[in-house]
């Protein structure tokens, strides 16, 4: 049976179709989910894609967190459903308290768009198992509110528990504390990151590399072997 991975579209989502394509390239079936529907259509995993949901008018991800679909996503994520939040999706996950910390505006107050070098810090999550710990990858990054922040206690806890999933290398593009580019929850089924792996799945687009494809092959293997 083909694994089914839902991709939620919020008003202002930009990368839902790109994410669906990445899922298809990995060998799974993408399932379009609308933010007003609580029914997840029995998908095996969910991706909250990038974009500017509700125009980020209140605070990035703050309004989408209250979309009807998120009630179900939150409940099922706490029960073990794999969930990946990319860029705006990462912001939604922090607003929903599925991941710790918060996202603020870039410290230089400018939109950033670049090919970003990352180091994989945790290769044991549902979304990162096809990487190796310490592996260096290049993933496109594009955001205005990408600065990851948390109090010192939370940051120390994330470090101690190995829950920093990705870290920026060479340059910190947005002022994120401790160069954090992505984090995971304790169970490893929920992961959020600011860079866009769906834009690094084919050699002719994005970085010209396929460094982002293992996100989607990782979850496929996780689901097949579950």
Q: Annotated active-site positions, please?
A: 87, 196, 198
Closest-CA residue to 161 (of 121, 127, 190)? 121
Segments of 63-162 assigned E as strands: 83-86, 102-104, 112-120, 136-143, 147-149
CB-based contact 203:171 (threshold 8 Å): no
8 A C-beta contact, residue 68 and residue 110: no
Pairing of strands 4-9, 45-48: parallel
Q: What are phi and psi for residue 53, nearest 5 degrees?
A: -60, 130
Of the candidates 107, 83, 217, the one whose C-alpha atom is nearest the C-alpha of residue 172 is 107
Q: Name the pairing type of β-strands 136-143 and 180-184.
A: unpaired
Strand partners, 119: 136, 167
In sequence order, which residues have a C-beta less than 8 Å from that of residue 76 and are 6 or more positions away?
A: 40, 46
- Tell me which DSSP letter residue 27 carries: T
* Residues in contact with 161: Cβ distance below 8 Å, sequence separation at least 6, in sequence order: 186
Strand partners, 164: 183
């Amino acid at each position: 049976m083909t694994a089914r991975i839902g991709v939620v579209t919020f008003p202002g989502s930009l990368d839902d179709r790109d994410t669906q394509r990445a899922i298809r390239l990995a060998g799974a079936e993408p399932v379009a989910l609308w933010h007003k529907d609580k029914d997840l259509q029995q998908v095996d995993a969910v991706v909250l894609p990038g974009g500017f949901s509700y125009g980020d008018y209140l605070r990035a991800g703050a309004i989408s967190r209250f979309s009807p679909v998120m009630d179900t996503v939150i409940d099922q994520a706490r029960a073990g459903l794999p969930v990946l939040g990319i860029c705006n999706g990462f912001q939604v996950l922090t607003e929903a308290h599925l991941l710790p910390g918060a996202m603020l505006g870039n410290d230089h107050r400018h939109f950033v768009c670049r090919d970003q070098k990352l180091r994989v810090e945790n290769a044991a999550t549902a979304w990162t198992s096809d990487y190796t710990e310490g592996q260096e990858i290049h993933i496109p990054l594009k955001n205005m509110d990408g600065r990851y922040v948390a109090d010192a206690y939370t940051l120390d806890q994330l470090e101690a528990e190995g829950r920093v999933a990705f870290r920026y290398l060479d340059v910190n593009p947005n002022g994120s504390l401790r160069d954090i580019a992505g984090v995971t929850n304790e169970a490893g089924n929920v992961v959020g990151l600011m860079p866009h792996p769906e834009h690094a799945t084919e050699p002719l687009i994005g970085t010209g590399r396929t460094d982002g494809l293992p996100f989607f092959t990782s979850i496929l293997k996780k689901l097949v072997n579950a």
